[in-house]
Amino acid sequence: MNIGITVFPTYGGSGIVGSELGRELAERGHNVHFISYALPTRLCRLDERMRFHQVDLFDYPLFEFPPYDLALASKIVEVAGNEKLDVLHMHYAIPHATAGFLAREMYKSTRYLPFVTTLHGTDITLVGSRKSFLPITRFSIAQSDALTAISRYLAGETCRTFGNCAVEVIPNFINAKEYARRENQALRSRLTPNGEKLLIHVSNFRPVKRINDCIHTLARLRERLSARLVMCGDGPEREGAEKLARDYGIADDVIFAGQVPNIADYLSASDLLLMPSDTESFGLAALEAMACETPVIATRAGGLPEVVLDGETGYLVEVGDTQAMAERAVEILSDENKWRRMGARGRAWAVERFNTEIVIPQYEKLYERVIDWAGKNR
Ligand code: GMT
C-alpha cells in the first residue's frame, strides 16, 4: 500500500507512535509518506520505503497565525497525486483530522482518498473538548473513514464527550527487539556511582506529567534506602522540579539528562519507572519500561490500568499520593525476587499484548478495509 502519515513531528508521544508505525509499515513492504512541517524526530534516518514531504508554510504579514491546516491539506493533495496514495493516516485529531477531511474532499473529483484518524489523548480530553474546538473536532472525527483510539479509556471518553462511539481500539505498540533489557554497565555506573538504586522518569515535562511528584517520591524514598533519579526529557516544568530538588537538598542525586536518543539503554539501566501523571490515555513510556523489564509505579488514571498491571508489572497509586509511591518503591526495591518477578512479568505482558507483530497487522487490516470500502462505494 502507499500510505500517507501525518503527525506532530517534534513534540509528544503521538508523533513517536505515528513515526514508529510508519517505520514498521515500511519494513513490511509498504511505501510510507510522512507529510508534516518537519521531519519527525524519531526518523533521523529514512529507509528506502519512507519519504518525507515538507508542508510549505508561507509567513505572510496578514497572517498573525499562519493557517497550517490549509497548507497541510494542500500538500496532502499534491502527495496523493504524485505518489498514488491509497490511504491517509492522521495522528491527533486537531487539526490533522480536519486536514484529512479537506484533502479528501479536494481530491474527490480525481479519486476518493480515505483517511483514518487515530486519537491519542488530549486531542479528545483537553483540546478537542474545549468550546472553541469541540464542534470542529466532533465534525472531523465523524468524517473519518475509520476512527481508532489507543486505549479503551480514550474510546470511552470519545463516546462520552462527542457521542461518537464508533471507535476501534488499537493500542500503542512496542518493538520487542529494540526495547529489551540490555545491560550497559558504563551507563549504570555513571548514573549510580555508589551502587544506589535508580529511579527513572521519561516525559515532556508538561504540567499533566506532575514531575514534581517524582522529586517528592525520591525524597521520601531516601529516608529508607539510598537512591537516585534520572529525569529524561525536557519541558516547561523542568525548572520547578530542579528547584524542588534543591529545596530538598537532593539536587546532586537528581540527574536531568535531557532528550536522550537511547532511551532503551536508560530504561535498562534503571530499577523502576515513575509515572505520576494526572491523566494518561496510554502511557507509552510505561510500556517501553516494561519491555525492558523495568517495573513501573504509575497513577490509577486514564488508560494506565490497561498498560500497567497493578501488583504484577508494578503498582498503581492514586494521583498525588507520593507517600504510597515511595512505599511501593521501597517494597519493590528492597526485595530482589519481587523486582525480578515484576520485571519479567512486565516484559511478558508487553510482548504478548503490545508487540508490533500483534498490533501492526491490525492497522494493515484497517487500511485494507477502508480502501476496499472506498473502492466499492465511491
Ligand atoms: O494527548 C497528549 O497529551 C499528547 C499526546 C502526545 O502527542 O504526546 O500524548 C498522548 O499520546 C501518547 C501516544 O499515544 C500516549 O502514550 C499518552 O498517554 C497521551 N498523553 C495523554 O493522554 C496525556
Is residue 306, in this structure, part of any structural domain at all? yes
Do 166 and 234 reside in the same domain of the chain? no
Ligand 1 binding pocket mutation candidate from 6, 14, 133, 263 (most atoms within 8 A of CB): 14
Do 326 and 361 reside in the same domain of the chain? no
Ligand 1 binding pocket mutation candidate from 89, 172, 281 (most atoms within 8 A of CB): 281
Q: Across the strands, what pairs with 70?
A: none
Is residue 334, in this structure, part of any structural domain at all? yes
Mean pLDDT across the stretch 151-173? 97
In ligand 1, the atom with minimum distance to the C-alpha of 123 is 1
What nine digits make up the cell of 285?
Answer: 513510556
Do 80 and 149 reside in the same domain of the chain? yes
Mean pLDDT across the stretch 108-116? 96
Is residue 179, in this structure, part of any structural domain at all? no
The pLDDT value given to residue 329: 98
Is residue 251, in this structure, part of any structural domain at all? yes
Do 243 and 128 reside in the same domain of the chain? no
Do 346 and 363 reside in the same domain of the chain? no
Do 124 and 229 reside in the same domain of the chain? no
The pLDDT value given to residue 129: 87
- Asked whether the predicted pLDDT for residue 377 surpasses 80, the reply is no
Do 120 and 207 reside in the same domain of the chain? no
Name the residue with the closest Cα to ligand 1, atom 3.
Answer: 122
pLDDT digits (tens, 9 = 90+) for 101-110: 999 999 999 9
- The alpha carbon of 283 and the centre of ligand 1 are apart by a number of angstroms equal to 7
> pLDDT above 70 covers what percent of the chain?
100
Is residue 132, in this structure, part of any structural domain at all? yes
The pLDDT value given to residue 7: 97
In ligand 1, the atom with minimum distance to the C-alpha of 278 is 23
Is residue 296, in this structure, part of any structural domain at all? yes
Residues 6+ apart with CB under 8 A from 18: 5, 6, 7, 40, 89, 91, 118
Do 168 and 273 reside in the same domain of the chain? no
Residues with CB under 6 A from ligand 1: 12-15, 17, 120-122, 150, 172, 208, 279-284
- The alpha carbon of 92 and the centre of ligand 1 are apart by a number of angstroms equal to 9
Do 267 and 333 reside in the same domain of the chain? yes
Domain containing 106 equals 2-173+356-377
The pLDDT value given to residue 24: 96
pLDDT digits (tens, 9 = 90+) for 11-65: 789 999 999 999 999 999 999 999 999 999 878 778 889 999 999 988 888 988 8
Total count of domains within the chain = 2
Is residue 155, in this structure, part of any structural domain at all? yes
The mean pLDDT value of the chain amounts to 96
Confidence of residue 119 (pLDDT cuts 50, 70, 90): very high
Lowest pLDDT segment from 46-60, 74-88, 156-170, 259-273: 46-60
The pLDDT value given to residue 339: 98
- The alpha carbon of 226 and the centre of ligand 1 are apart by a number of angstroms equal to 32
The pLDDT value given to residue 43: 83
Do 109 and 202 reside in the same domain of the chain? no
- The alpha carbon of 281 and the centre of ligand 1 are apart by a number of angstroms equal to 6
- The alpha carbon of 185 and the centre of ligand 1 are apart by a number of angstroms equal to 32
Confidence of residue 253 (pLDDT cuts 50, 70, 90): very high
Is residue 180, in this structure, part of any structural domain at all? no
Do 126 and 274 reside in the same domain of the chain? no
Which pTM does this prediction carry?
A: 0.95
CATH code: domain of residue 225:
3.40.50.2000
Do 253 and 111 reside in the same domain of the chain? no
